[in-house]
Structure 1
Amino acid sequence: MRVVSEGRRAALGTMVAVAALLWTANVPARAATASTAGAELAAKTCATLTARVDEIPGSGSVFLRSYDNAFAAGPTSEPALSVAAFTYDNALAVIALHACGQRGQALRIGEALLDAANLDRAGRKGRLRNTYRAGVQKQRPIPPMGWWDVVENRWLEDSYQVGTATGNVAWAGLALLTLAEATGEKRFREGAAGLARWVVEHAADPRGPGGFNGGVQGFDNAPQALTWKATEHNTDLVALFDRLGDGGEWAAPAKAARGFLDALWAAGGDHFPVGTTPDGVTVSRATSGLDAQLWPLLLRDAPTGWRAALAYAERAHGVEGGFDFNDDRDGVWVEGTAQAALAYRAVGRKADADRLFADLLQDVSPGGFLWATRSAILTTGLAIGPESKTADFLYYRRPHLGATAWAALAAQGWNPFTGARLP
């Protein structure tokens, strides 16, 4: 249920209008056999991520832009996305850059995450917003994403972008723990612990299957709790609490998040339902989520029986050349296809991972990021936010930092949940 892709709803009309144009951009031909594709994909994605940090002047903290335009490295034309740096994407970039051996570049983004986590504009320690502005981060507190609207002649913010999604907080915590383990600096671990405490304080919900809800959405003067619970978010939290340490402060939260996964697995039988409805109790069966099937397989103590979810993903989400976000199978979700490649590596299916690496090489955009989709538009079956009346969370064919980072992780064989390279 993570919504990281498309900014405010007002931008959706513009995106639909340009989607057909984006689809006409050149798609590179397959340039490698399966046996060499992983190495080529790793080289390309690591080089792109490194260059994106290095092109920002100085050595201070930075956030990376999440989306490029269709034709080159550079911002899109939509104000809500042109300089949007989604927290989730930047957390992934930290971990991927570390896996690529680029610690200095990973640290520049990590410093920005740490600063943002240590002091929110509302004066709350441990809270992260879903989106910040890309570039050098000089202002303190680091402000969340916003933009000047020339039509309305005023400053605008988006209710999702200034909100705090539980899964995004967890991923930022995993990024900070990656840096803590790499550098031995306690401040990164303390930052991750602060984020985990925010989740425990604001998102814990013992009702039904227990676990943690979606977080908070809305503007500072009218925050709205997201009372649904996501399998994806609770998977992220199992990894975060596990990395923070066995027992002690994290024992009960870890048990709650893992208990949610066990309950959802029991409800699904051979797969993980996407989560609950907004009552926090009823299992949602309205749609299926690919990441809900794949991410639990990356956990340190994932039961072997959970591998049935991968077979389910192949049946319900598999399409030619990759995987769809949901089970309507209307196209390839590039980020999720990279996640599947990593899941294949995690369960020892290297040939299947190599096949996906060869397909993913087709998805490198002119600017170096991987496209978010292969089709012009991809449905998810999910809503952008609580005000949505339809399943309006869509992915568009635009170059995406998150997809690029996942491809780097998969090609490098780096498990972001355990902080270790796969055998």
Structure 2
Amino acid sequence: MQVLLSIPRTLAHCAVASMVSMLLMPAAHAQKPGATQQQLARQSCEGLRRAVAEDQKGAASGPLFLASYRLADNKQGSPPLEPALAGAAFTYDNALAGIALLACGDTASAKRIGDAVVRAMERDPGMPDGRVRNAYRAGPMTEDKAALPGRWDAGKKQWIADAYQVSTATGNVAWAALLLLNLSEAERSQAYLASARKLLGWTEQRTRATNAPDGYNGGWYGWDNAQRAQTWKSTEHNIDIAMAAAWAARAGGSNDAERQQARTALDFVNRMWNASEQRFNIGTKEDGATISTEGSGLDAQLWPLLAAPEGSCAWTRGLEWVEKNHRFGEGYGFSRNPDGIWTEGSAQAAATLVARKGAAPEALWQLLASQRADNGLYYATPSARISTGLAIGPDSAGADFYYYRWPHLGATAWIALAATGFNPFTGKTTAAGAIPSCPT
């Protein structure tokens, strides 16, 4: 019989209250980066800066979104880019890229992406409630309203858009908030902090689902005139909210609501810890109540360890589960018993190992280095295609969410974060004190 470790709410309250001191404790176990890691840091940062230069299209300043996928110059080994992805700037990828650019020392470029997020919140074309969409049109923001991705089909004489891209997933909102919080710390900006709080307020108002286990659901899906709630709850989304809300709460001001939000989200994550298997359940099923125990997502296993709230020492055994169930060659795959390497997730594993153990294996750094495309970004996978076991949205007929061998902004950003030792959940490098050692 499966046993779930359900930490009482009083302990979750203590978890959030002591998160600040935990995250500021020195991590003496950090090791000096090796040559491959240092090279990855340089080259991934160069790739991100090149993406900024390419997508700004002559506009050297102002709000800017970066394309999530672009073909390598020689196009060798890559399938044709899906039309729906051409010029699409996913919010999650851009939030990661902005945080990674801060880690790379390019605050000016990071601010351009942050400013694009803020402008998108303020000038949504159809939902003026402070949300962000899952994706926007890549390039400088020159129109009065935030431009959503899509394309004109001359044959059909109609505008073609993607329902997922115009929807709003809770995790993407939380990552947009994390970008703005990182910028508020780097710039000491109350404006970025205020915008991050608006995003957190949106998640509280629109995605909180109090049916047990209390937490935040998947967001809203569909066209503007017919959006419907995604009633499942995700471990990944809730750790994102927990960290963003705790960060906003300790930034000062009127923060009682954010403290409570952090407690709620963190308590959900605690309830997803599967003590009998020493790993995290991925979340709930569609009813928002039944725990989903079958599948696994690598990010849901790693992000709580990288975020490292109080009590997370009990979770470190999850690394052993990841090794047994997500390992593929020298890297890691998205799903349980994966069918290939997920570059982004392998970089997440490297970042978690650096934060938790002080270093990642040289073979893992070399694997990541081998995925560099000639346009400076890194391929999403070495394979032609890998599966995730997940559906893109409720309209999907099955598990149709795949990663392809395309140079990917998100993979590049995670490599930069891992190689520089920068923790996106805390805004600090490992050497500056990210995660304290756990007792053995």
Do both proteins adopt the same fold according to a TM-score greater than 0.5, normalized to the shorter chain? yes
State the Cα deviation string for residues 125-168 of structure 1 (Å, max 9, x = none): 32000010001101122122121123322112111000000000
Match of 1:200 among 200, 204, 207: 204
The residue identity in structure 2 corresponding to 1:229 is K
Cα drift, residue 100 of structure 1: 0.3
Residue 236 of structure 1 pairs with residue 235 of structure 2: no
State the Cα deviation string for residues 277-336 of structure 1 (Å, max 9, x = none): 000001112311100110001224251111111111110000111000001221100000
Cα drift, residue 72 of structure 1: 5.2
Q: Which is worse superposed, 289-298 or 54-63?
A: 54-63
Tell me which residue corresponds to 2:392: 384
- Matched ranges for 1:206-355 at <5 A: 206-246=210-250, 248-266=256-274, 269-302=277-310, 303-352=312-361, 354-355=362-363
Tell me which residue corresponds to 2:163: 159
Tell me which residue corresponds to 2:425: 417
- Matched ranges for 1:8-87 at <5 A: 35-55=34-54, 56=56, 57-58=58-59, 59-71=61-73, 77-87=81-91
The separation in 1 between residues aligned to 2:145 and 2:275, in whole angstroms, is 43
Residue 171 of structure 1 pairs with residue 171 of structure 2: no
Cα drift, residue 110 of structure 1: 1.1
The TM-score normalised by the length of structure 1 is: 0.89
8 A Cα contact 1:110 1:175, kept in partner: yes
The separation in 2 between residues aligned to 1:134 and 1:36, in whole angstroms, is 34
8 A Cα contact 2:64 2:138, kept in partner: yes
The residue identity in structure 1 corresponding to 2:284 is T
The residue identity in structure 2 corresponding to 1:186 is Q
Tell me which residue corresponds to 2:6: none
The TM-score normalised by the length of structure 2 is: 0.85
The separation in 2 between residues aligned to 1:267 and 1:280, in whole angstroms, is 21
Quick one: structure 1 residues 139 and 421, their matched pair in 2 at CA, closer, same or farther if it must change by over 3 Å? same
8 A Cα contact 1:68 1:76, kept in partner: no
Residue 405 of structure 1 pairs with residue 413 of structure 2: yes
Q: Which is worse superposed, 143-152 or 277-286?
A: 143-152
Quick one: structure 1 residues 214 and 267, their matched pair in 2 at CA, closer, same or farther if it must change by over 3 Å? farther
8 A Cα contact 2:380 2:408, kept in partner: yes
The residue identity in structure 1 corresponding to 2:47 is T
State the secondary structure of the residue aligned to 2:224: coil
Quick one: structure 1 residues 72 and 417, their matched pair in 2 at CA, closer, same or farther if it must change by over 3 Å? farther
8 A Cα contact 2:50 2:376, kept in partner: no
Q: Paired residues, what number?
A: 389
The residue identity in structure 1 corresponding to 2:143 is Q
The separation in 1 between residues aligned to 2:369 and 2:80, in whole angstroms, is 23
State the Cα deviation string for residues 173-232 of structure 1 (Å, max 9, x = none): 000111111112211111100110110000001112111000001000100111111111
Cα drift, residue 349 of structure 1: 4.2
The separation in 2 between residues aligned to 1:103 and 1:238, in whole angstroms, is 25
State the secondary structure of the residue aligned to 2:337: coil
Cα drift, residue 266 of structure 1: 4.2
Cα drift, residue 250 of structure 1: 0.8
Tell me which residue corresponds to 2:380: 372
Structure 2: 5+ residue runs without aligned partners?
Answer: 1-32, 432-440
State the secondary structure of the residue aligned to 1:221: helix
Cα drift, residue 267 of structure 1: 6.3
RMSD: 1.8
Structure 1: 5+ residue runs without aligned partners?
Answer: 1-33
Same amino acid, percent of matched pairs: 44
Quick one: structure 1 residues 72 and 93, their matched pair in 2 at CA, closer, same or farther if it must change by over 3 Å? farther
